[in-house]
Amino acid sequence: MKNGPLFLFGLFLSVVITWSGVVLGSHLQLGGLAPFYDETESQAYPQRPLGTAARGQLVYADLGCAACHTQQVRRPDFGSDQARGWGERQSVARDYIFQARPQIGASRFGPDLANLGARKPAAPTADALYELLYAGSPTHPAYPFLFASDRVVGERSAHALKLSGAKAPPANREVVATERAQTLVAYLLNLNTGYDYPESRPLPAPAKPAAKEEAKK
Amino acid sequence: MSTPHRPDAAVDPAAMTDENLLAVHERMLGKQPDEKAHYRLLPLNLLFFFSGLIFFGGTYLGRFSGHFSPKVFNEYGAPPKPGAALGVAVDPLVLGKTVYGQVCVACHQPNGMGLPPAFPPLVGSEWLAGSEERVIRILLHGLVGPIKVKGVDFIGAMPAVGPGSGYNLSPEKVAAVLTFVRKEWVGIDTPILPAKVAEIRGKDGTRAPLTVPELEKIP
Amino acid sequence: MTTLPTHAAPAEVTVIDTHARWPLLILLTAAIKWLILSGMLALISAIQLHSPAFLSDCAWLTHGRMAALSETAFVYGWAANAGLAIALWILGRLGGHPLRALNWVVVGTIFWNLGIAAGMVGIATGDMTSFALLQLPRYVQPLLVFAYAAIAISGVLAWSGRRRAVAYASQWYAVAALFLFPWLITAAQSVLLWTPVRGVVQAIGAGWYAQGVLALWLFPLALAAAYYVIPKVTGRALPSYEAAPLGFWTLIVVGTWTGGRQLVGGPVPAWIPTIAVVGGALLLFHFVICAINLQPVFTGRGTALRFFRFGLVAYVLAGVLALLTSFRGVALHTQFTFVDAALNQVSLYGAVSMMFFGAITYLVPRLTGRAWASPALLAGHAALVKLGVLISVGALVVAGLTQGGLLLDAKVTFPEIFDQVSVALLINTAAQFVLLGANLLLLVNFARTACVCGEPVPAAAPDLFRQPATVEAPAS
């Protein structure tokens, strides 16, 4: 290639084109995605997360939980996501518009967390989550640095963990969740894929060719 | 691999100088320093392969891209038609029940029995079972004065709840709540249509609350 | 037919090499040290996969951060420094003039490595950005752009001031890597860090960037090395070289369209994974052309070519596997599993790093004017690193396929999946040990070759490097 500036320009143009197509194109399509207003409930979805939950997402991000957990539920005929009770519908772009840094993740060494706060039959309790984060489990690392072990002076703290057995601290000490742990648990329990948007519904079964035309209404 | 007894075992000897490297490959590209660039044609098999890949790509795009619509998350799906209602298909019974719980329940009670002597029951009410024109107008304009429901006298003041009133319910919501109460407590399955509510609203405009004699004049 | 130029054929080691000796050796030293560090971090990360309690008490070493640290050290520490050194060296030699702006190279190297080190501390203390391959904290990112530009200027100048008007494939690839990376990372920073886009568009942007790091930066650097060393050592012109420009432009134009391949079935519009598949299919053409062009590597001899053989096979395999795992039918079994980690290992270690090792094997004697201190260590490093990559990729593929199959069955709980893949993950840890050991051998060998204190470094060792014969172009 002889022409120097033309070569460099060609390289630059290639990157600009691919960035425009993939990133800018997605941004133009999804950047202005608005909440969906439901007439029946007179409510717009998704709802903005609570302040503590939004801060908890930062804790989730900086601990790198996305290294093992995803937050995206796939559609029913693509994997066992919904059969495992992780969500009642697939995740769509609208679910993430109010998240400062969506942690959709790319690895599932641990379960998906997209709908943790609204799991059926029961979402995990805050106590269970605190215990898991403090002590870990054979398959989950422990995060003891998210907790403080304080001497009990007078009454026990309201935020003290209810631990028993080998994990419990000595009698005169209690384990208290730090603010980071509290916001993280608030975030986890606030995760839900609540509302069923039009675009998240599964495709109708292609019964007849005429029915196929009705595709996504 | 290097045999240990060779003196330059730890140096891979070059078999070509840089100049040579450049010259030889430049010649293969078919360019002379003073010529405009011209490229040799690709070997035919590579050309076919590339064309095949492009063909595959094109058909794959056509089939699975959902027409590049941001609303299509399933690659087998098609984008919604431009004229299609983008909203959720609202079930009037569900909407009606919600509206009833927000607006009507205070007076007509959750069980629809009302509260004598002011609030007539809706259960089995002959007014509800009667003419649509009348019952729609009750909601749109309100009702004052005495009214006899199921042989019992009631006297009270029902506020207007339709568009333009304090509650400002849309024609959809008025129709929905009427559909709900008629199905729930009178057993009538025919829904009331929002279009009819809007039509009556358009015809009547805003007016003072009705009395029973005025209501009875309406067919 | 003779192709001798009018002036005398240059010696194998010239002033171009001696002039660039110290800046490039600094880059290579930094690269190898980062390689060791990233090996240690990868080892810890691998252990934490099957023993979650390992080092979990320390906030700096928790698994999420460890994964980010090892990946950052590998890509921005080892691959960046080594790739830049190799690219500059090749551009200098093919340009025909000693490299200019080498002071800037040294300054850039120092700031780049300081920035990465500061970034690593930042990640460990909790400032990581949570975007794959862009985990460095916001505050070091602008520094990296400028440091990189400072180093890259020398290479671009060497190319623009080259003796021969027509550039060779190595030069295209090296200049592309040097020129494009600042744009790539700036574009990613702007949509992810400075003015973040909304919702899932961040994931799309992050996927685009991660693919760009491979397709527009690391693969071109590796290919620049391959296209240079292979004909130099084998003494043969590359077959079907006339297809090489098309292969180059296919990679550059189509490479980053495959960024959405990990978002299959995800909360993104369907067209994004679809164009990833289409891009991956078109990119096959590039891999085929590279395979055709670089096939003389299989007939050559020498230590460097050993690395390039492995690297070329891994490179083509990486392209094919990337395409395969983008298809939804295959992704059903491999998405979110260790198969992605295996593919990363094949691309980053098997392809890019092995080609870098080959280039370093060829480069260092010419740069230092001395033969490698220990051919045994060289051979040991080659064997062990190949073994390590093979074992780790194999183990991760087995773990991933097992995991994928079990994930599809809704009745299998995660502790059960953990038990089933533990053995494969243990084998992967063993492989990381082997890789670390191999790279320690390289470090020792390199230190003994390049940094012999007290002994003056010869200006050129004419008896060490035979004068190569002139090679003719193949009949057209």
**Secondary structure element (H or E) that encloses residue B147, with its range:** strand B143-149
Which is nearest to A65 in space by CA: A128, A129, A118, A123? A129
CA torsion, ordered C425, C430, C432, C438, to nearest 10 deg: -160
CA distance B41 to B47: 9
Partner-chain contact A216 B37, CB within 8 Å: no
Facing C336 at nearest CB: one of A1, A19, A106: A106
ipTM: 0.91
Say whether B68 and C3 touch across the interface (CB within 8 A): no
The pLDDT of residue C93 is 93
C-chain residues within 8 Å CB-CB of A68? Answer: 63-64
pLDDT of residue A216: 47
Which residue type occupies C459?
Answer: A
Give the C-alpha separation, B61 to B112, whole Å: 57
pLDDT one-digit tens code per residue, A63-82: 999 999 999 999 888 889 98
| Residue A154 burial class via C-beta count within 10 angstroms: exposed 0-12, middle 13-18, buried 19 and up | exposed
Q: Are strands A43-45 and A36-38 parallel, antiparallel or unpaired?
A: antiparallel
Cα of C365 to nearest chain B Cα, Å? 6
Please state, in angstroms and rounded to a whole number, the distance separating the CA atoms of residues B121 and B128: 10
Structure tokens at B109: 């009670």
Tokens of B53: 């890949």
Q: What HEC string does A192-215 produce?
A: CCCCCCHHHCCCCCCCCHHHHCCC
The H or E element spanning position B129 is: helix B126-129
> Chain C contacts of A29, Cβ < 8 Å?
269
Type of residue numbered A132: L
Pull the structure tokens for residue A48: 């903005």
Reference C217, options C48, C81, C40; nearest CA is: C81
- Using CB atoms, pick whichever of A19, A22, A108 lies closest to residue C407: A108
Task: Name all contacts of B47-54 with Cβ < 8 Å and 24+ positions apart.
Answer: B49/C285, B49/C288, B50/C246, B50/C285, B53/C281, B53/C282, B53/C284, B53/C285, B54/C282
DSSP string, C402-443: HHHHHHHSTT--HHHHHHHHHHHHHHHHHHHHHHHHHHHHHH
Q: Is C240 on the interface with A (CB under 8 A)?
A: no
Residue numbers of chain C with a pLDDT score lower than 70 = 1-11, 452-469, 471-476
- How far is C-alpha C251 from the geometric centre of its chain's CA atoms? 15
C58 contacts on A by Cβ (under 8 Å): 145
Report the percentage of chain B scoring pLDDT > 90: 7
Which residues in chain A are contacts of B98 at CB distance < 8 A? Answer: 40-41
Residue C444 touches chain B, beta carbons under 8 Å: no
pLDDT tens-digit map of A174-189: 899 999 999 999 999 9
- Chain segment A33-55, per-residue pLDDT in tens: 999 888 777 788 888 888 999 99
**Inter-chain contact A15–C165, Cβ cutoff 8 Å?**
no
Which residues are A177's β-sheet partners? A147
User: What would you report as the CA-atom Rg of chain B, rounded to the nearest whole angstrom?
Assistant: 40
C196 φ/ψ sector (left φ>0, alpha ψ -120 to 50, else beta): beta
What would the pLDDT profile of A161-170 be if each residue is shown by its tens digit?
888 777 788 8
Q: With 60 as the cut, is the pLDDT of residue B127 above it?
A: yes
Question: B65, C275: Cβ pair inside 8 Å?
Answer: yes
CB contact under 8 A, B43 and C373: no
Model confidence at A212, in pLDDT bands (50, 70, 90)?
very low
> In which residue are the tokens 């709908």 written?
A115
Per the CB < 8 Å rule, is C243 touching B39?
Answer: no
Looking at residue B185, its pLDDT comes to 87
Q: Please give the pLDDT value at position A1.
A: 52
Residue type, A93: A
What is the per-residue pLDDT across A17-30, written as a single tens digit (0 to 9) for each? 999 999 999 999 99
pLDDT in tens, B21-66: 898 888 888 655 555 655 566 778 888 999 999 999 999 999 998 8
Contact C375 B29 (CB under 8 A): no
Other beta carbons less than 10 A from residue B152's beta carbon: 12
The residues, ordered by sequence, that sit 6+ positions from A202 with a Cβ below 8 Å of its Cβ are A75, A76, A77, A89, A90, B74
A215/B206: higher pLDDT: B206
Cis peptide before B79 (omega within 30 of 0): no
State the pLDDT confidence band at B165, using cuts at 50, 70 and 90. confident
Mean pLDDT within B76-93 = 71
DSSP tag of A153: -
For chain A, say whether B37 makes contact (Cβ under 8 Å): yes
Who contacts C272 (Cβ-Cβ below 8 Å, separation ≥6)? A22, A26, C204, C260, C263
Give the number of beta-carbon pairs within 8 Å between A and C: 215
In 3-state terms chain B splits into helix, strand, coil percentages (rounded to 5) of 45, 10, 45
Interface subset of B 70-129, CB within 8 angstroms of A: 70-74, 76-81, 84-91, 94-95, 98
Q: How confident is the model at residue B203 (pLDDT cuts 50, 70, 90)?
A: confident
Calculate mean pLDDT across residues B99-128.
87
CA B128 to chain centre: 32
pTM as predicted? 0.86
* Kind plus residue range of the DSSP H or E element containing B148: strand B143-149
Interface check for C53 against chain A (CB to CB < 8 A): the answer is yes
- Please, are residues C414 and A110 in contact by the beta-carbon 8 Å criterion? yes
Q: Is the peptide bond before B117 cis (omega within 30 degrees of 0)?
A: yes
Which of B16, B34, B42, B47 to substitute to test the interface with C, most C CBs within 10 Å? B16
